[in-house]
Chains A and B, each alone.
Chain A
Amino acid sequence: MKKIVGSVVAAIVIALAFAGWLFLGRDPMSFAGGSTVALKNYKAGNITGVPTQLASADLVKRGAYLVHAADCQACHTAPGGAPFAGGFAFKLPFGTIYSTNITPDKQTGIGNYTDAQFLSAVHKGIRADGEQLYPVMPYTSYTYMTGDDALAIKAYLFTLVPVHAPAKQNRLLWPFDQRRLLMLWNVMFNQDERFRPNTGRSPQWNRGAYLAEAMGHCGECHTPRNVAYALDNHRKFSGALTAGWRAYNITSDKDSGIGDWSDQDVYLYLSTGHANGHGGAAGPMGEATDDSLSYLVPDDVHALVTYLRSVPAQASDVPRIVTTPAPASYKEGTMANGDVRGQKIFAGACASCHDWTGVSPVTGYATLTGVRAVNDPSAVNVAQAVINGVNRTTAEGKIFMPAFGEGYSNDDIAAVANYVTGRFGAKGAKLTGKDVNDLRKQATR
Protein backbone atom coordinates (compact mmCIF):
# COMPACT_ATOMS: atom_id res chain seq x y z
CA MET A 1 0.00 0.00 0.00
CA LYS A 2 2.73 2.40 0.99
CA LYS A 3 4.45 1.60 -2.26
CA ILE A 4 1.37 2.49 -4.28
CA VAL A 5 0.87 5.75 -2.41
CA GLY A 6 4.54 6.51 -2.87
CA SER A 7 4.33 5.91 -6.64
CA VAL A 8 1.19 8.00 -6.97
CA VAL A 9 2.79 10.87 -5.07
CA ALA A 10 5.94 10.58 -7.15
CA ALA A 11 3.88 10.59 -10.35
CA ILE A 12 1.97 13.68 -9.24
CA VAL A 13 5.19 15.47 -8.30
CA ILE A 14 6.74 14.64 -11.67
CA ALA A 15 3.61 15.74 -13.52
CA LEU A 16 3.49 19.01 -11.60
CA ALA A 17 7.18 19.60 -12.17
CA PHE A 18 6.69 18.99 -15.90
CA ALA A 19 3.68 21.30 -16.02
CA GLY A 20 5.69 23.90 -14.11
CA TRP A 21 8.57 23.55 -16.55
CA LEU A 22 6.22 24.04 -19.50
CA PHE A 23 4.65 27.00 -17.70
CA LEU A 24 8.01 28.63 -17.05
CA GLY A 25 8.85 28.32 -20.72
CA ARG A 26 6.08 30.69 -21.70
CA ASP A 27 7.85 33.98 -20.96
CA PRO A 28 9.83 34.96 -24.06
CA MET A 29 11.86 37.64 -22.27
CA SER A 30 12.73 35.90 -19.00
CA PHE A 31 16.21 35.10 -20.34
CA ALA A 32 17.12 38.76 -19.89
CA GLY A 33 16.93 38.56 -16.09
CA GLY A 34 17.00 41.81 -14.16
CA SER A 35 13.88 43.65 -13.13
CA THR A 36 11.05 45.01 -15.18
CA VAL A 37 8.70 47.91 -14.62
CA ALA A 38 5.29 48.84 -15.92
CA LEU A 39 5.58 50.85 -19.11
CA LYS A 40 4.20 54.00 -17.53
CA ASN A 41 7.00 53.93 -14.94
CA TYR A 42 9.75 53.61 -17.55
CA LYS A 43 11.41 56.97 -18.14
CA ALA A 44 14.49 56.09 -20.26
CA GLY A 45 12.80 56.58 -23.63
CA ASN A 46 9.90 55.73 -25.88
CA ILE A 47 10.04 52.06 -26.73
CA THR A 48 6.52 51.34 -27.93
CA GLY A 49 4.58 52.89 -30.77
CA VAL A 50 6.05 54.35 -33.92
CA PRO A 51 9.60 55.70 -34.36
CA THR A 52 10.33 59.40 -33.79
CA GLN A 53 10.02 60.20 -37.50
CA LEU A 54 6.33 59.29 -37.36
CA ALA A 55 5.55 60.56 -33.87
CA SER A 56 3.41 63.42 -35.15
CA ALA A 57 1.78 61.44 -37.97
CA ASP A 58 -1.96 60.83 -37.78
CA LEU A 59 -3.40 57.72 -36.20
CA VAL A 60 -3.92 55.86 -39.46
CA LYS A 61 -0.33 56.47 -40.65
CA ARG A 62 0.97 55.25 -37.31
CA GLY A 63 -1.31 52.25 -37.59
CA ALA A 64 0.06 51.49 -41.04
CA TYR A 65 3.61 51.35 -39.67
CA LEU A 66 2.51 49.12 -36.81
CA VAL A 67 0.52 46.81 -39.11
CA HIS A 68 3.76 46.25 -41.00
CA ALA A 69 5.74 45.80 -37.78
CA ALA A 70 3.23 43.21 -36.53
CA ASP A 71 3.10 41.59 -39.98
CA CYS A 72 -0.66 41.09 -39.97
CA GLN A 73 -0.79 40.84 -43.75
CA ALA A 74 1.31 37.71 -44.34
CA CYS A 75 -1.08 35.43 -42.47
CA HIS A 76 -4.33 37.29 -43.13
CA THR A 77 -3.93 37.04 -46.90
CA ALA A 78 -4.52 33.88 -48.93
CA PRO A 79 -2.12 33.19 -51.80
CA GLY A 80 -3.36 35.41 -54.63
CA GLY A 81 -6.21 36.71 -52.49
CA ALA A 82 -7.20 40.20 -51.39
CA PRO A 83 -4.88 41.59 -48.71
CA PHE A 84 -6.20 41.14 -45.15
CA ALA A 85 -9.26 39.17 -46.36
CA GLY A 86 -8.02 35.94 -44.73
CA GLY A 87 -8.18 32.38 -46.02
CA PHE A 88 -4.51 31.51 -45.56
CA ALA A 89 -4.25 27.85 -44.54
CA PHE A 90 -2.21 26.76 -41.52
CA LYS A 91 -1.53 23.07 -41.90
CA LEU A 92 -0.94 21.69 -38.43
CA PRO A 93 -0.53 18.15 -37.08
CA PHE A 94 -4.12 18.20 -35.83
CA GLY A 95 -5.80 19.75 -38.85
CA THR A 96 -6.05 22.89 -40.94
CA ILE A 97 -6.95 26.31 -39.60
CA TYR A 98 -7.72 29.26 -41.88
CA SER A 99 -6.91 32.86 -41.11
CA THR A 100 -9.90 35.19 -41.08
CA ASN A 101 -10.99 38.36 -42.80
CA ILE A 102 -9.75 41.45 -40.94
CA THR A 103 -11.00 43.99 -43.45
CA PRO A 104 -13.81 46.19 -42.04
CA ASP A 105 -16.57 44.24 -43.80
CA LYS A 106 -19.53 44.18 -41.41
CA GLN A 107 -20.77 40.70 -42.27
CA THR A 108 -17.58 38.70 -42.74
CA GLY A 109 -14.79 40.94 -41.42
CA ILE A 110 -14.21 42.96 -38.28
CA GLY A 111 -16.38 45.95 -39.26
CA ASN A 112 -18.54 45.62 -36.14
CA TYR A 113 -15.67 45.21 -33.67
CA THR A 114 -15.60 47.76 -30.88
CA ASP A 115 -12.24 48.88 -29.51
CA ALA A 116 -12.73 46.64 -26.48
CA GLN A 117 -13.53 43.63 -28.66
CA PHE A 118 -10.49 44.25 -30.84
CA LEU A 119 -8.23 44.50 -27.79
CA SER A 120 -9.74 41.32 -26.42
CA ALA A 121 -8.88 39.48 -29.64
CA VAL A 122 -5.34 40.85 -29.81
CA HIS A 123 -4.47 40.45 -26.12
CA LYS A 124 -6.55 37.50 -24.97
CA GLY A 125 -7.44 35.58 -28.11
CA ILE A 126 -11.17 36.08 -27.62
CA ARG A 127 -13.22 37.12 -30.62
CA ALA A 128 -16.26 39.39 -30.65
CA ASP A 129 -18.77 36.57 -30.08
CA GLY A 130 -16.84 35.43 -27.00
CA GLU A 131 -15.36 32.31 -28.61
CA GLN A 132 -11.67 31.49 -28.26
CA LEU A 133 -9.31 32.09 -31.15
CA TYR A 134 -6.79 29.40 -31.93
CA PRO A 135 -3.27 30.48 -31.00
CA VAL A 136 -2.17 30.38 -34.66
CA MET A 137 -3.30 33.97 -34.21
CA PRO A 138 -0.20 34.95 -32.20
CA TYR A 139 -2.06 36.64 -29.35
CA THR A 140 0.39 35.18 -26.86
CA SER A 141 2.89 37.53 -28.55
CA TYR A 142 0.52 40.39 -29.31
CA THR A 143 -0.56 40.37 -25.67
CA TYR A 144 2.57 42.44 -25.00
CA MET A 145 1.38 45.15 -27.41
CA THR A 146 0.15 48.39 -25.85
CA GLY A 147 -3.54 49.16 -26.16
CA ASP A 148 -2.68 52.36 -28.02
CA ASP A 149 -0.67 50.47 -30.63
CA ALA A 150 -3.35 47.82 -31.07
CA LEU A 151 -5.98 50.52 -31.58
CA ALA A 152 -3.77 52.34 -34.09
CA ILE A 153 -3.64 49.05 -36.00
CA LYS A 154 -7.42 48.82 -35.78
CA ALA A 155 -7.75 52.39 -37.07
CA TYR A 156 -5.59 51.49 -40.08
CA LEU A 157 -7.48 48.26 -40.77
CA PHE A 158 -10.74 50.21 -40.70
CA THR A 159 -9.52 52.38 -43.59
CA LEU A 160 -9.23 49.32 -45.85
CA VAL A 161 -11.82 48.60 -48.48
CA PRO A 162 -14.23 46.08 -46.91
CA VAL A 163 -13.97 42.71 -48.62
CA HIS A 164 -16.81 40.22 -48.40
CA ALA A 165 -14.95 36.99 -47.58
CA PRO A 166 -16.68 34.49 -45.28
CA ALA A 167 -14.38 32.50 -43.03
CA LYS A 168 -13.33 29.15 -44.40
CA GLN A 169 -14.32 26.18 -42.28
CA ASN A 170 -11.43 24.86 -40.19
CA ARG A 171 -10.82 21.14 -40.47
CA LEU A 172 -9.65 19.89 -37.09
CA LEU A 173 -9.57 16.52 -35.40
CA TRP A 174 -11.47 15.96 -32.18
CA PRO A 175 -10.83 17.26 -29.51
CA PHE A 176 -8.96 20.11 -31.14
CA ASP A 177 -12.17 21.37 -32.72
CA GLN A 178 -13.45 22.26 -29.23
CA ARG A 179 -12.55 25.92 -28.89
CA ARG A 180 -13.55 26.03 -25.22
CA LEU A 181 -10.58 23.85 -24.31
CA LEU A 182 -8.35 26.76 -25.18
CA MET A 183 -9.44 28.46 -21.96
CA LEU A 184 -7.27 25.96 -20.12
CA TRP A 185 -4.46 26.39 -22.61
CA ASN A 186 -4.60 30.16 -22.14
CA VAL A 187 -4.31 29.85 -18.37
CA MET A 188 -1.07 27.99 -18.95
CA PHE A 189 0.39 29.84 -21.91
CA ASN A 190 -1.00 33.33 -22.37
CA GLN A 191 0.60 35.80 -19.97
CA ASP A 192 -2.11 38.37 -20.85
CA GLU A 193 0.24 41.11 -19.77
CA ARG A 194 1.45 44.24 -21.59
CA PHE A 195 5.13 44.75 -22.34
CA ARG A 196 7.23 45.54 -19.27
CA PRO A 197 10.53 47.29 -20.02
CA ASN A 198 13.65 45.79 -18.48
CA THR A 199 15.48 48.41 -16.43
CA GLY A 200 18.75 46.52 -16.63
CA ARG A 201 18.88 46.87 -20.41
CA SER A 202 19.27 49.82 -22.78
CA PRO A 203 16.29 51.61 -24.32
CA GLN A 204 17.48 50.25 -27.68
CA TRP A 205 17.32 46.69 -26.33
CA ASN A 206 13.84 47.33 -24.98
CA ARG A 207 12.69 48.74 -28.31
CA GLY A 208 14.09 45.64 -30.00
CA ALA A 209 12.35 43.39 -27.50
CA TYR A 210 9.05 45.18 -28.10
CA LEU A 211 9.42 44.88 -31.87
CA ALA A 212 10.51 41.23 -31.77
CA GLU A 213 8.03 39.97 -29.17
CA ALA A 214 4.96 42.22 -29.14
CA MET A 215 4.98 43.10 -32.83
CA GLY A 216 7.06 40.87 -35.14
CA HIS A 217 6.42 37.66 -33.16
CA CYS A 218 9.71 36.11 -34.40
CA GLY A 219 9.40 33.28 -31.90
CA GLU A 220 6.20 31.98 -33.46
CA CYS A 221 8.35 30.44 -36.19
CA HIS A 222 11.88 30.45 -34.75
CA THR A 223 11.16 29.03 -31.27
CA PRO A 224 10.40 25.31 -30.92
CA ARG A 225 7.05 24.26 -29.50
CA ASN A 226 6.36 22.02 -26.52
CA VAL A 227 3.93 19.09 -26.25
CA ALA A 228 1.05 21.54 -25.82
CA TYR A 229 2.15 23.31 -29.02
CA ALA A 230 3.02 26.43 -27.04
CA LEU A 231 6.37 28.15 -27.53
CA ASP A 232 9.12 26.56 -25.47
CA ASN A 233 11.24 29.54 -24.53
CA HIS A 234 13.72 27.30 -22.74
CA ARG A 235 14.93 26.82 -26.32
CA LYS A 236 14.16 30.34 -27.47
CA PHE A 237 14.98 31.11 -31.12
CA SER A 238 16.84 27.82 -31.60
CA GLY A 239 14.85 26.96 -34.71
CA ALA A 240 11.73 25.01 -35.65
CA LEU A 241 9.79 23.61 -38.59
CA THR A 242 6.87 25.87 -39.51
CA ALA A 243 4.53 25.52 -42.48
CA GLY A 244 6.84 23.05 -44.18
CA TRP A 245 9.88 25.35 -43.99
CA ARG A 246 12.59 25.39 -41.37
CA ALA A 247 12.90 28.64 -39.45
CA TYR A 248 16.55 28.46 -38.47
CA ASN A 249 18.38 28.94 -35.22
CA ILE A 250 18.81 32.71 -34.80
CA THR A 251 20.63 32.59 -31.48
CA SER A 252 24.28 33.55 -31.38
CA ASP A 253 25.57 29.97 -31.45
CA LYS A 254 28.58 30.09 -33.71
CA ASP A 255 27.95 26.77 -35.45
CA SER A 256 24.22 26.29 -35.66
CA GLY A 257 23.06 29.88 -35.11
CA ILE A 258 24.12 33.25 -36.46
CA GLY A 259 26.95 33.92 -34.02
CA ASP A 260 29.40 34.19 -36.90
CA TRP A 261 27.39 36.86 -38.71
CA SER A 262 28.45 40.48 -38.30
CA ASP A 263 25.88 42.90 -36.90
CA GLN A 264 25.82 44.57 -40.29
CA ASP A 265 24.97 41.26 -42.01
CA VAL A 266 22.11 40.64 -39.58
CA TYR A 267 20.94 44.20 -40.20
CA LEU A 268 21.03 43.74 -43.97
CA TYR A 269 19.31 40.37 -43.82
CA LEU A 270 16.48 41.73 -41.69
CA SER A 271 15.97 44.89 -43.70
CA THR A 272 16.39 43.47 -47.22
CA GLY A 273 16.08 39.69 -46.84
CA HIS A 274 19.62 39.18 -48.03
CA ALA A 275 23.22 39.46 -46.90
CA ASN A 276 26.02 38.52 -49.24
CA GLY A 277 27.58 35.21 -48.26
CA HIS A 278 24.54 34.20 -46.20
CA GLY A 279 21.97 33.79 -48.93
CA GLY A 280 18.52 35.28 -49.13
CA ALA A 281 15.18 34.85 -47.45
CA ALA A 282 12.61 32.73 -49.24
CA GLY A 283 9.31 31.14 -48.24
CA PRO A 284 7.79 32.51 -45.03
CA MET A 285 10.88 34.59 -44.18
CA GLY A 286 10.73 36.14 -47.63
CA GLU A 287 7.16 37.18 -46.82
CA ALA A 288 8.18 38.45 -43.39
CA THR A 289 10.81 40.60 -45.07
CA ASP A 290 8.67 41.92 -47.90
CA ASP A 291 5.48 42.47 -45.87
CA SER A 292 7.03 43.60 -42.61
CA LEU A 293 10.74 43.97 -41.84
CA SER A 294 11.61 45.96 -44.97
CA TYR A 295 9.19 48.69 -43.83
CA LEU A 296 10.97 49.30 -40.51
CA VAL A 297 13.11 52.42 -40.16
CA PRO A 298 16.86 51.76 -39.74
CA ASP A 299 16.83 52.55 -35.98
CA ASP A 300 14.17 49.92 -35.43
CA VAL A 301 16.11 47.28 -37.35
CA HIS A 302 19.24 48.14 -35.35
CA ALA A 303 17.17 47.71 -32.17
CA LEU A 304 16.08 44.27 -33.38
CA VAL A 305 19.72 43.34 -33.99
CA THR A 306 20.65 44.47 -30.45
CA TYR A 307 17.85 42.38 -28.96
CA LEU A 308 18.60 39.34 -31.11
CA ARG A 309 22.26 39.44 -30.09
CA SER A 310 21.29 39.26 -26.41
CA VAL A 311 19.39 35.98 -26.70
CA PRO A 312 21.48 33.16 -25.17
CA ALA A 313 23.32 31.00 -27.69
CA GLN A 314 21.86 27.52 -28.07
CA ALA A 315 23.21 24.73 -30.18
CA SER A 316 20.74 22.98 -32.46
CA ASP A 317 20.82 20.12 -34.91
CA VAL A 318 22.38 21.91 -37.90
CA PRO A 319 26.13 21.75 -38.56
CA ARG A 320 28.64 24.54 -38.96
CA ILE A 321 28.34 26.21 -42.36
CA VAL A 322 30.88 25.42 -45.09
CA THR A 323 32.07 28.72 -46.56
CA THR A 324 34.50 27.38 -49.19
CA PRO A 325 33.14 27.17 -52.72
CA ALA A 326 32.96 23.77 -54.44
CA PRO A 327 35.52 23.02 -57.20
CA ALA A 328 34.89 24.44 -60.67
CA SER A 329 34.59 20.98 -62.24
CA TYR A 330 31.65 18.75 -61.47
CA LYS A 331 34.15 15.86 -61.53
CA GLU A 332 35.71 17.10 -58.32
CA GLY A 333 34.18 17.71 -54.93
CA THR A 334 32.22 15.71 -52.40
CA MET A 335 29.46 14.54 -54.72
CA ALA A 336 31.72 13.64 -57.68
CA ASN A 337 30.80 9.99 -57.24
CA GLY A 338 27.39 10.66 -55.81
CA ASP A 339 23.88 10.72 -57.16
CA VAL A 340 24.05 10.95 -60.96
CA ARG A 341 20.38 11.89 -61.22
CA GLY A 342 20.84 14.88 -58.93
CA GLN A 343 23.94 15.94 -60.82
CA LYS A 344 22.19 15.72 -64.19
CA ILE A 345 19.27 17.81 -62.99
CA PHE A 346 21.66 20.35 -61.50
CA ALA A 347 23.56 20.57 -64.80
CA GLY A 348 20.42 21.25 -66.79
CA ALA A 349 18.30 23.38 -64.51
CA CYS A 350 20.53 24.91 -61.84
CA ALA A 351 24.17 25.30 -62.90
CA SER A 352 23.57 28.22 -65.26
CA CYS A 353 22.72 30.50 -62.34
CA HIS A 354 24.23 28.74 -59.31
CA ASP A 355 27.46 27.61 -61.02
CA TRP A 356 29.31 24.38 -60.26
CA THR A 357 31.22 26.27 -57.55
CA GLY A 358 28.04 27.45 -55.84
CA VAL A 359 29.13 31.08 -56.27
CA SER A 360 26.69 32.62 -58.73
CA PRO A 361 28.06 34.74 -61.58
CA VAL A 362 24.58 36.25 -61.89
CA THR A 363 23.66 37.60 -58.45
CA GLY A 364 24.67 37.25 -54.81
CA TYR A 365 21.10 36.14 -54.15
CA ALA A 366 21.78 32.95 -56.11
CA THR A 367 25.04 32.03 -54.38
CA LEU A 368 24.69 28.70 -52.57
CA THR A 369 28.02 28.77 -50.76
CA GLY A 370 27.66 29.71 -47.10
CA VAL A 371 23.87 29.54 -47.09
CA ARG A 372 22.21 27.96 -44.05
CA ALA A 373 19.54 26.11 -46.04
CA VAL A 374 22.23 24.42 -48.14
CA ASN A 375 24.08 23.52 -44.93
CA ASP A 376 21.03 21.88 -43.41
CA PRO A 377 21.20 18.08 -43.85
CA SER A 378 17.40 17.88 -43.74
CA ALA A 379 17.37 19.84 -47.06
CA VAL A 380 13.84 20.98 -46.19
CA ASN A 381 14.28 24.57 -47.33
CA VAL A 382 16.33 23.61 -50.39
CA ALA A 383 13.51 21.29 -51.48
CA GLN A 384 10.88 23.96 -50.76
CA ALA A 385 12.82 26.56 -52.74
CA VAL A 386 13.06 24.12 -55.66
CA ILE A 387 9.35 23.28 -55.45
CA ASN A 388 8.03 26.81 -54.92
CA GLY A 389 10.79 28.96 -56.38
CA VAL A 390 11.47 32.43 -55.08
CA ASN A 391 9.44 35.39 -56.25
CA ARG A 392 10.07 38.46 -54.15
CA THR A 393 9.60 42.12 -54.92
CA THR A 394 12.08 44.29 -53.09
CA ALA A 395 13.28 47.88 -53.24
CA GLU A 396 16.22 46.65 -55.34
CA GLY A 397 14.00 44.91 -57.86
CA LYS A 398 12.62 41.47 -58.34
CA ILE A 399 14.34 38.41 -56.87
CA PHE A 400 13.40 35.41 -58.84
CA MET A 401 14.01 31.69 -59.05
CA PRO A 402 11.67 29.55 -61.12
CA ALA A 403 9.35 27.15 -59.29
CA PHE A 404 10.26 23.62 -60.39
CA GLY A 405 7.53 21.83 -58.46
CA GLU A 406 5.25 21.38 -61.45
CA GLY A 407 7.95 20.27 -63.88
CA TYR A 408 9.93 17.81 -61.80
CA SER A 409 8.87 14.66 -59.99
CA ASN A 410 9.24 14.15 -56.26
CA ASP A 411 12.17 11.81 -56.90
CA ASP A 412 13.86 14.41 -59.11
CA ILE A 413 13.49 17.11 -56.47
CA ALA A 414 14.79 14.79 -53.75
CA ALA A 415 17.79 13.91 -55.93
CA VAL A 416 18.72 17.50 -56.69
CA ALA A 417 18.22 18.61 -53.06
CA ASN A 418 20.47 15.78 -51.90
CA TYR A 419 23.04 16.72 -54.53
CA VAL A 420 23.02 20.43 -53.64
CA THR A 421 23.34 19.88 -49.89
CA GLY A 422 26.12 17.35 -50.52
CA ARG A 423 28.11 19.38 -53.03
CA PHE A 424 27.80 22.86 -51.52
CA GLY A 425 26.93 22.18 -47.88
CA ALA A 426 28.25 20.45 -44.79
CA LYS A 427 26.47 17.13 -45.27
CA GLY A 428 24.33 15.67 -48.01
CA ALA A 429 20.67 15.08 -47.32
CA LYS A 430 18.92 11.75 -47.77
CA LEU A 431 15.53 12.95 -48.92
CA THR A 432 13.22 10.50 -50.66
CA GLY A 433 10.43 11.21 -53.10
CA LYS A 434 7.97 10.54 -50.30
CA ASP A 435 9.61 13.22 -48.12
CA VAL A 436 9.25 15.69 -50.97
CA ASN A 437 5.61 14.74 -51.38
CA ASP A 438 5.06 15.47 -47.67
CA LEU A 439 6.85 18.81 -47.96
CA ARG A 440 4.61 19.80 -50.85
CA LYS A 441 1.56 19.22 -48.65
CA GLN A 442 2.92 21.14 -45.66
CA ALA A 443 3.66 24.38 -47.46
CA THR A 444 0.79 26.72 -48.14
CA ARG A 445 2.17 28.05 -51.38
Chain B
Amino acid sequence: MLTLTINGQSREVDVPDDMPLLWALRDHLNLVGTKYGCGIAQCGVCTVHVGGKPVRSCQLAIGDVGTRAVVTIEGVGRTANGAKVQQAWMEVAVPQCGYCQAGQIMSAVALLDSNPNPDDSDIDAAMAGNLCRCGTYIRIRRAIKKAASKSA
Protein backbone atom coordinates (compact mmCIF):
# COMPACT_ATOMS: atom_id res chain seq x y z
CA MET B 1 0.00 0.00 0.00
CA LEU B 2 1.40 3.38 -1.04
CA THR B 3 0.40 6.70 0.47
CA LEU B 4 0.58 9.73 -1.81
CA THR B 5 -0.31 13.38 -1.32
CA ILE B 6 -2.51 14.24 -4.29
CA ASN B 7 -4.11 17.66 -4.65
CA GLY B 8 -3.50 18.32 -0.97
CA GLN B 9 -5.12 15.09 0.20
CA SER B 10 -3.51 11.96 1.50
CA ARG B 11 -4.54 9.08 -0.74
CA GLU B 12 -3.79 5.38 -0.37
CA VAL B 13 -3.43 3.14 -3.36
CA ASP B 14 -2.63 -0.57 -3.53
CA VAL B 15 -0.68 -1.03 -6.76
CA PRO B 16 2.75 -2.37 -7.76
CA ASP B 17 5.69 0.02 -7.27
CA ASP B 18 6.55 0.05 -10.95
CA MET B 19 3.07 1.07 -12.11
CA PRO B 20 3.20 4.43 -13.94
CA LEU B 21 1.63 7.18 -11.84
CA LEU B 22 -0.77 7.89 -14.72
CA TRP B 23 -2.28 4.39 -14.45
CA ALA B 24 -2.81 4.78 -10.71
CA LEU B 25 -4.39 8.22 -11.16
CA ARG B 26 -6.80 7.16 -13.85
CA ASP B 27 -7.60 3.55 -13.01
CA HIS B 28 -7.31 3.45 -9.23
CA LEU B 29 -7.95 7.00 -7.98
CA ASN B 30 -10.56 8.05 -10.51
CA LEU B 31 -8.63 11.19 -11.46
CA VAL B 32 -9.30 10.92 -15.18
CA GLY B 33 -8.61 14.54 -16.10
CA THR B 34 -5.02 13.55 -16.83
CA LYS B 35 -4.92 11.89 -20.25
CA TYR B 36 -2.91 9.14 -21.85
CA GLY B 37 -1.19 10.08 -25.09
CA CYS B 38 1.98 8.50 -26.39
CA GLY B 39 3.09 6.56 -23.32
CA ILE B 40 6.76 7.42 -23.90
CA ALA B 41 7.03 10.95 -22.48
CA GLN B 42 7.05 12.53 -25.94
CA CYS B 43 3.69 14.31 -26.13
CA GLY B 44 3.09 15.94 -22.74
CA VAL B 45 -0.60 15.08 -22.40
CA CYS B 46 -0.10 13.24 -19.10
CA THR B 47 1.77 16.09 -17.38
CA VAL B 48 1.17 16.50 -13.65
CA HIS B 49 3.17 18.34 -10.99
CA VAL B 50 5.38 16.27 -8.72
CA GLY B 51 7.24 18.22 -6.08
CA GLY B 52 6.38 21.39 -8.01
CA LYS B 53 7.91 20.18 -11.28
CA PRO B 54 6.04 19.24 -14.43
CA VAL B 55 6.47 15.50 -14.89
CA ARG B 56 5.19 13.07 -17.51
CA SER B 57 3.15 10.70 -15.37
CA CYS B 58 3.25 7.92 -17.98
CA GLN B 59 6.97 7.44 -17.31
CA LEU B 60 7.05 8.06 -13.56
CA ALA B 61 6.84 4.84 -11.56
CA ILE B 62 4.52 5.40 -8.62
CA GLY B 63 7.15 3.93 -6.31
CA ASP B 64 9.51 6.77 -7.27
CA VAL B 65 7.11 9.55 -6.22
CA GLY B 66 8.17 9.26 -2.61
CA THR B 67 7.03 12.10 -0.37
CA ARG B 68 6.73 14.62 -3.20
CA ALA B 69 3.31 16.24 -3.47
CA VAL B 70 1.34 15.45 -6.64
CA VAL B 71 -0.96 18.04 -8.24
CA THR B 72 -3.19 17.09 -11.16
CA ILE B 73 -5.49 19.06 -13.43
CA GLU B 74 -8.29 18.43 -10.93
CA GLY B 75 -6.42 20.30 -8.19
CA VAL B 76 -4.34 22.90 -10.00
CA GLY B 77 -7.20 25.44 -10.11
CA ARG B 78 -6.88 25.83 -6.35
CA THR B 79 -3.37 27.29 -6.72
CA ALA B 80 -2.89 30.98 -7.53
CA ASN B 81 -1.21 30.45 -10.88
CA GLY B 82 -3.50 27.55 -11.67
CA ALA B 83 -6.57 29.74 -11.26
CA LYS B 84 -5.04 32.50 -13.39
CA VAL B 85 -4.05 30.11 -16.17
CA GLN B 86 -7.47 28.44 -16.25
CA GLN B 87 -9.18 31.86 -16.37
CA ALA B 88 -6.91 33.03 -19.20
CA TRP B 89 -7.52 29.73 -21.02
CA MET B 90 -11.26 30.41 -21.00
CA GLU B 91 -10.90 34.05 -22.01
CA VAL B 92 -8.68 33.16 -24.97
CA ALA B 93 -10.75 30.05 -25.75
CA VAL B 94 -7.58 28.03 -26.20
CA PRO B 95 -8.81 24.43 -26.69
CA GLN B 96 -10.04 22.97 -29.91
CA CYS B 97 -10.52 19.24 -29.39
CA GLY B 98 -9.14 19.57 -25.88
CA TYR B 99 -7.33 16.28 -25.48
CA CYS B 100 -3.90 17.81 -24.83
CA GLN B 101 -5.13 20.74 -22.80
CA ALA B 102 -4.81 19.30 -19.30
CA GLY B 103 -1.14 18.72 -20.02
CA GLN B 104 -0.74 22.16 -21.62
CA ILE B 105 -2.26 23.84 -18.56
CA MET B 106 -0.07 21.88 -16.13
CA SER B 107 3.08 22.84 -18.04
CA ALA B 108 1.95 26.47 -18.31
CA VAL B 109 1.30 26.70 -14.56
CA ALA B 110 4.70 25.15 -13.78
CA LEU B 111 6.29 27.72 -16.07
CA LEU B 112 4.61 30.63 -14.29
CA ASP B 113 5.53 29.14 -10.90
CA SER B 114 9.20 29.33 -11.80
CA ASN B 115 9.09 32.38 -14.06
CA PRO B 116 6.24 34.89 -13.49
CA ASN B 117 6.96 36.88 -16.67
CA PRO B 118 8.08 34.51 -19.40
CA ASP B 119 9.05 35.86 -22.82
CA ASP B 120 8.40 33.99 -26.06
CA SER B 121 11.59 31.97 -25.87
CA ASP B 122 10.87 30.98 -22.25
CA ILE B 123 7.45 29.77 -23.35
CA ASP B 124 9.02 27.83 -26.22
CA ALA B 125 11.55 26.16 -23.91
CA ALA B 126 8.94 25.21 -21.32
CA MET B 127 6.13 24.18 -23.65
CA ALA B 128 8.00 22.50 -26.51
CA GLY B 129 7.38 19.05 -25.06
CA ASN B 130 3.59 19.51 -25.09
CA LEU B 131 2.17 18.68 -28.50
CA CYS B 132 -1.18 19.89 -29.81
CA ARG B 133 -2.37 18.25 -33.01
CA CYS B 134 -5.04 20.93 -33.46
CA GLY B 135 -2.30 23.54 -33.50
CA THR B 136 -3.53 25.76 -30.70
CA TYR B 137 0.02 26.88 -29.97
CA ILE B 138 -0.62 30.52 -30.79
CA ARG B 139 -3.57 30.71 -28.41
CA ILE B 140 -1.58 28.84 -25.75
CA ARG B 141 1.15 31.46 -25.97
CA ARG B 142 -1.40 34.27 -25.79
CA ALA B 143 -3.13 32.74 -22.78
CA ILE B 144 0.13 32.24 -20.90
CA LYS B 145 1.00 35.91 -21.42
CA LYS B 146 -2.50 36.92 -20.35
CA ALA B 147 -2.26 34.82 -17.20
CA ALA B 148 1.14 36.34 -16.42
CA SER B 149 -0.33 39.83 -16.70
CA LYS B 150 -3.18 39.11 -14.25
CA SER B 151 -2.64 40.32 -10.71
CA ALA B 152 -2.71 37.58 -8.13
Write the residues of chain A forming the contact surface with B, with a CB cutoff of 8 angstroms.
328-331, 343-344, 347-349, 351-353, 355-356, 361-363, 396-398, 400, 402
Contacts and interface: CB of A to CB of B under 8 A. Distances in A.
Interface of B: 17-18, 40-42, 44, 47, 50-51, 53-56, 59-61, 64, 114-115, 121-122, 124-126, 128-129
B61 A363 contact: yes
Nearest to A351: B129
B55 A362 contact: yes
B59 A400 contact: yes
Contact of B125 (A330, A361, A400): A330
Contacts of A330: 125
A357 to B, nearest CB: 10
Contacts of A355: 53
Given A355-B53, A361-B51, A362-B64, A400 B40 contact: yes
A290 to B, nearest CB: 16
B59 A362 contact: yes
Nearest to A361: B53
A351 B55 contact: no
A355 B125 CA distance: 11
Given A344-B128, A353-B59, A363-B64, 18 more contacts: A329-B115, A329-B122, A343-B125, A347-B125, A348-B128, A349-B42, A349-B129, A351-B129, A352-B54, A361-B55, A362-B41, A362-B59, A363-B59, A363-B60, A397-B17, A397-B18, A397-B61, A398-B18
Nearest to B107: A352
12 contacts: A329-B115, A331-B122, A351-B125, A353-B41, A355-B53, A356-B125, A361-B55, A362-B41, A362-B59, A400-B59, A402-B40, A402-B41
A286 to B, nearest CB: 18
A331 B17 CA distance: 36
A3 B139 CA distance: 86
Contacts of A397: 17-18, 61
A352 B119 CA distance: 20
Contacts of B115: 329
Contacts of B64: 362-363
A181 B125 CA distance: 58
Greatest chain A CB density within 10 A among B54, B121, B124, B128 is at B128
Nearest to A349: B42
A145 B142 CA distance: 69
Contacts of A396: 18
Contacts of B51: 361
A2 to B, nearest CB: 75
B61 A352 contact: no
A397 B129 CA distance: 25
Nearest to A357: B53
A402 B129 contact: no
B52 to A, nearest CB: 9
Nearest to B68: A361
A400 B121 CA distance: 30
Nearest to B16: A397
**Nearest 9 interchain pairs by C-beta:** A397-B18, A347-B128, A348-B128, A352-B129, A361-B53, A402-B40, A330-B125, A347-B125, A362-B60
Nearest to A389: B40
A213 to B, nearest CB: 35
A270 B66 CA distance: 25
A158 B4 CA distance: 50
Contacts of B128: 344, 347-348, 351
A344 B124 CA distance: 8
Contacts of A356: 125
Contacts of A329: 115, 122
Contacts of A351: 125, 128-129
Contacts of B122: 329, 331
Contact of B50 (A352, A361, A398, A402): A361
A362 B44 CA distance: 14
B38 to A, nearest CB: 9
